[in-house]
Amino acid sequence: MAVDELDTRILRLLLEQPRTSVREYARVLGVARGTLQARLDRLERDGVITGTGPTLSPAALGHPVLAFVHIEVTQGRLDDVGDALASVPEIVEAFSIAGGGDLLTRVVARDNAHLEDVIQKVISLPGVVRTRTEVALRERVPQRLLALVESIGRSVRT
């Protein structure tokens, strides 16, 4: 989906001021509220905007340990294992990958012992051959999209 300069200005504003009203966004951008709403609807429909809820901190919710668990799966069982991973609440993301392993998960835990329990639960799932875990020590670059939106905005203007 191609975005134009107004789209990038809207996205930047959503990232910088996520709790502002549509009316206020329209005022700041100098566009009609209907125009802004139509753009927001299109950006959602096209999958650019994928959510509007708050970003939560697993650490603040009592799960400060973050690990990335690579999972090797028996051939033909990728969908089954992926579905089973969805039942483990400490797995906050899972991706099929190319390279070492078949799945990469982001796992949160209360402490290292809890992390081991979660990994043991994953290992016991039918179709899981082995896992490899990497524990995150410190976040160096928090999840961000503003730099990407600004980069896209610069390419739209040139």
Q: What residues are paired with 144 via a beta bridge?
A: none
pLDDT the model gives residue 112: 98
For residues 3 and 49, the answer to whether their CB atoms sit within 8 Å is no
pTM value surpassing 0.95: no
Share of the chain above pLDDT 70, in %: 98
Between these two residues, 154 and 10, which has the higher pLDDT value?
A: 10
